[in-house]
Amino acid sequence: MRILILGGDGYLGWPTSMHFARRGHEVHAVDNYLRRRSHVEAGTDSLTPIGESLPARARAFHEVTGLEIGVTEGDLCDWDVVERVFREFRPEAIVHYGEMPSAPYSMIDREHAVFTQTNNVVGTLNVLYAMAELTPDAHLVKLGTMGEYGTPNIDIEEGFIEIAHKGRSDVLPFPKLPGSMYHLTKVHDSHNIHFACRIWGLRSTDLNQGVVYGIETEETALDERLATRFDYDEVFGTALNRFCLQAVIGHPLTAYGRGGQTRGYLNILDTIQCIELAALNPPEAGEYRVFNQFTEQFSIMELAEHVQKAGAEVGIDVEVEHVDNPRVEMEDHYYNAAHTKLLDLGLRPHLLSETLIESMFAAIERHRDRVILDHIMPATRWRAVREGSAR
Amino acid sequence: MRILILGGDGYLGWPTSMHFARRGHEVHAVDNYLRRRSHVEAGTDSLTPIGESLPARARAFHEVTGLEIGVTEGDLCDWDVVERVFREFRPEAIVHYGEMPSAPYSMIDREHAVFTQTNNVVGTLNVLYAMAELTPDAHLVKLGTMGEYGTPNIDIEEGFIEIAHKGRSDVLPFPKLPGSMYHLTKVHDSHNIHFACRIWGLRSTDLNQGVVYGIETEETALDERLATRFDYDEVFGTALNRFCLQAVIGHPLTAYGRGGQTRGYLNILDTIQCIELAALNPPEAGEYRVFNQFTEQFSIMELAEHVQKAGAEVGIDVEVEHVDNPRVEMEDHYYNAAHTKLLDLGLRPHLLSETLIESMFAAIERHRDRVILDHIMPATRWRAVREGSAR
């Protein structure tokens, strides 16, 4: 299959590109290096050293495996880039990770909020128009987020819910309560993609993904030049990855608020499995389907306890610090989200274990000299819009 | 009260500005003339001649009434404009009509879709940040649309719905099924505004408005220089206004498809009443409330019959032509939308009557020499994305 990977230089995009290439697919990766630039601006960096560019990574992959990954360095908001890629590559499946993925980044100030919403919404609109014009039978596998749903007081279903109301009923999009300017963009995308499927007959799988953890996949392990990035800073890092790093360097785990916030989580190996299952089992023309892509639910304190236990196994004394929650979110709430559709397609989950956490410790330990301590504590505050700050 | 009217040069914005000024409020109107420019580009125009600019209209209003309306010619997507207006005027209420309001315009091609989504979403984000930074107690009265809901098979509630599901229940945002790139922007805005109320404690009333008809208000009738615009072309015109014009000029009424499409409608006099009721009864800090702003439901064929009957009264023989539906929408569907919240606040509806339609006939008749026939028939087709057209 010809598979286009948008955001192919990212934490998930690069391992996904390699995975499909190793399974005999024709892969083309696109990235505009937004993440790399943001790190340079903020003075942060990936824990793992990564290839200096997408072409450099593709060359290394070719040296190691003999396989090709096509690359385009370009911006999805630039229609000329999108149109050229679709015209020349004619993808059969599009895996779309190509968005600004950080909630704190989107909440820094007005400019970052406007950039995030414009960047994500316009990039995806361009992809939809390119599909409608050039590859109407292709399948869009779009990365959404479980954060679209927020924390409603009812079970979260997979994208749609049957609502019985005043003697009638309908199956309608599940209501959304996103928690940041970034999460809002994923909700906007969901509505835009659903519409494109309804009017143009496009087909799409929207993967509402939980928080991903892990540092290695089958392909990144082949050669150190094939490593994927690993972010732990307050802007691009996520809970479990950051906790593991904090444990290794002797920093207290930074639990935001009381730590009762419960979310879905999954191993990076399962992200790749899910993407592959979605791509190999496309929906019908005109169908917009949503899968909740995670394998387990944990509260922040449960995650912290897992890391503490794994630390104890290897002789690390792990402390937990409750820091003032920079976000506006419930810290103690009901949470039960359906996630059976990917299991039905054959997903075999890699559940969180002390062994996995210990192997993350070991991988992090190899790069501990690269850790930048300055940007681990949360700095971006959801409520902070003060005089002058909007500029 | 200091009331800022965004989109103050528009069909509703201009009469709203005059209405509040005549009731003793301090009014400042902002507009970037997007509608005027779009008409020039398309070769269309308002049926009614309108003042050549917002300052010219404000001068005429001053000559007629002795009252002031402050004006700013500027774009809400330009943060410097928004920040300056909020800093200098310090509004207590913001009535936000300042968006690109046409479904067909948004569906012309990719560029128009991207423009519409960027323009509406970014303008509203700028307003939210200006409020959070400069006027956190102000009340945002935002124009949404009944088109956000689409045509679900259950009763449409006002913004939120109580959902009982698997033994639990919650009151959640009503699911949305918008029918164009434009309608999608209103859904995006709703989510963004709701979020801003949740995290910054802003207060907002989102008015999901039906289709407005009518040509005169108390203030436009004072002097012909105070007329509001009246659009009947396929891009900016709406169903009943266009039908009345078609009846007057002897053009068959253009019913799209079978004409069973049912929507909420209201008189322009009631729009102004609703806006005033919302502004005078603000929600609590942090509250995001939604009112469905319409007074009656009609199918397209019911509207056509009303116009036929009114035509018969004044000796006009009105024909109805079913034209190929350019949109993707259900032509025969359940539709029952709640609209009691504005009635509870005191709305006294002006219901559609043959007398009203006849008075619209008369007002249209006065300007029939200005009618441009070329752009009445639908030209923009929802399904049309062909090779090359996305550019």
**B175-214 residue pLDDT tens:** 999 999 999 999 999 999 999 999 999 999 999 999 999 9
Hey, are the CB atoms on A121 and B125 less than 8 Å from each other? no
Query: B281 is written with which tokens?
Result: 């009864």
Residue A32 tokens read as 């505009």
Facing B166 at nearest CB: one of A154, A388, A389: A154
Q: Do the Cβ atoms of B133 and A200 come within 8 Å?
A: no
- Contact call for residues B178 and A178 (beta carbons, < 8 A): no
3-state secondary structure of A171: strand
Which of A155, A195, A382 has the CB atom closest to B165's CB atom? Answer: A155
Q: If we measure between CA atoms, which residue out of A324, A381, A323, A374 comes closest to residue A104?
A: A381
B97, burial (CB in 10 Å: exposed 0-12, middle 13-18, buried 19+)? buried
User: Is B228 strand, coil or helix?
Assistant: coil
Judge: B152–A170 Cβ closer than 8 Å, yes or no: yes
d(Cα B36, Cα A338) in Å, to the nearest integer? 50
Is there a catalytic annotation at residue B220?
no
Cross-chain residue pair B122–A114, CB shorter than 8 Å: yes
Ramachandran assignment for B230, one of left (phi > 0), alpha (psi -120 to 50 degrees), beta (any other): beta
Chain B residues near residue A164 by CB distance under 8 angstroms = 154, 164
Nearest CA to B5 out of B92, B88, B100, B120 is that of B92
With a CB cutoff of 8 Å and minimum separation 6, the contacts of A280 are none
Question: Pick the catalytic residue: B11, B105, B149, B182?
Answer: B182
Residues 6+ apart with CB under 8 A from A34: A100, A119
Residue A187 near residue B185, CB atoms below 8 Å: no
B198:A328 CB<8 A: yes
Residues of B in contact with A159 (CB under 8 A): none
Cα–Cα distance, A334 to B113 (Å, whole number) = 38
**pLDDT, tens only, B98-114:** 999 999 999 999 999 99
Residue B389 reports pLDDT greater than 80 = no
With a cut of 80, say whether residue B57 has pLDDT above it. yes
Q: Select which of A145, A151, A185, A254 is catalytic.
A: A145
A59-A64-A65 Cα angle (round to 5)? 95
Q: What distance in Å separates the CA atoms of residue B384 and residue B376, rounded to the nearest whole number? A: 19
Which residue, among A155, A102, A177, has the nearest Cα to B199 in the 3D structure? A177
pTM: 0.97
Average pLDDT over residues B109-138: 98
Averaged pLDDT for residues B281-298? 98
The token duo for B128 is 């939210």
Which residues are within 8 A (CB) of A348 and not within 5 positions of it... i.e. 6 or more apart? A273
Q: Phi and psi of A196, rounded to 5°? A: -60, -35
Chain B interface mutation, best of A165, A336, A389, highest count of B Cβ atoms under 10 Å: A165
From chain A, the residues in CB contact with B184 under 8 A are 188, 191-192, 195
A169/B154 CB distance under 8 A = yes
> Which residues of chain A does B134 touch, with a Cβ-Cβ cutoff of 8 Å?
387
Please, are residues B188 and A121 in contact by the beta-carbon 8 Å criterion?
yes
Q: Is the pLDDT of residue B386 over 90?
A: no
Residue range B12-56, pLDDT digits in tens: 999 999 999 999 999 999 999 999 999 999 999 999 999 999 999
Q: Which two tokens stand for residue A38?
A: 């943001």
- CA distance, residue B335 to nearest chain A CA (Å): 12
Contact list, B187 vs chain A (CB under 8 Å): 188, 191
Which of B125, B176, B382 is the closest to A114 by Cβ? B125
Q: Please give the single-letter amino acid code of residue A287.
A: E
Does residue A265 carry a catalytic annotation? no
Cβ burial, residue A316 (10 Å; 0-12/13-18/19+): middle
Would you tell me how many other CB atoms lie within 10 Å of the CB of residue A167?
7
* Tens digit of each residue's pLDDT, chain A (391 residues): 999 999 999 999 999 999 999 999 999 999 999 999 999 999 999 999 999 999 999 999 999 999 999 999 999 999 999 999 999 999 999 999 999 999 999 999 999 999 999 999 999 999 999 999 999 999 999 999 999 999 999 999 999 999 999 999 999 999 999 999 999 999 999 999 999 999 999 999 999 999 999 999 999 999 999 999 999 999 999 999 999 999 999 999 999 999 999 999 999 999 999 999 999 999 999 999 999 999 999 999 999 999 999 999 999 999 999 999 999 999 999 999 999 999 999 999 999 999 999 999 999 999 999 999 999 999 999 997 754 544 4
Residue pair B266/B210 in contact by the 8 Å Cβ criterion: yes
Residues from chain A that touch B179, judged by Cβ atoms under 8 A, are 195
What span, in angstroms and rounded, lies between the C-alpha atoms of A356 and A350? 9
B186 is an active site residue: yes
Q: Which residues pair with B30 in a beta bridge?
A: B6, B72
Nearest to B117 among A79, A121, A387 (CB): A121
Chain A residue with the nearest C-alpha to that of B185: A188
Q: Is B351 exposed, middle or buried (0-12, 13-18, 19+ CB in 10 A)?
A: exposed
Q: Report helix, strand or coil for A390.
A: coil
Q: What is the pLDDT of residue A385?
A: 75
Facing residue for A168 by CB, picked from B154, B176, B391: B154
Q: What percentage of chain B reaches a pLDDT higher than 90? A: 97
Judged on CB neighbours under 10 Å (0-12, 13-18, 19+), A220 is buried
The CA distance from B113 to A96, in Å, is 20
Write out pLDDT tens, residues B322-338. Answer: 999 999 999 999 999 99
Query: Among residues A44, A124, A135, A186, which one is catalytic?
Result: A186
Query: Can you tell me which residue has the tokens 């009424």?
Result: B253
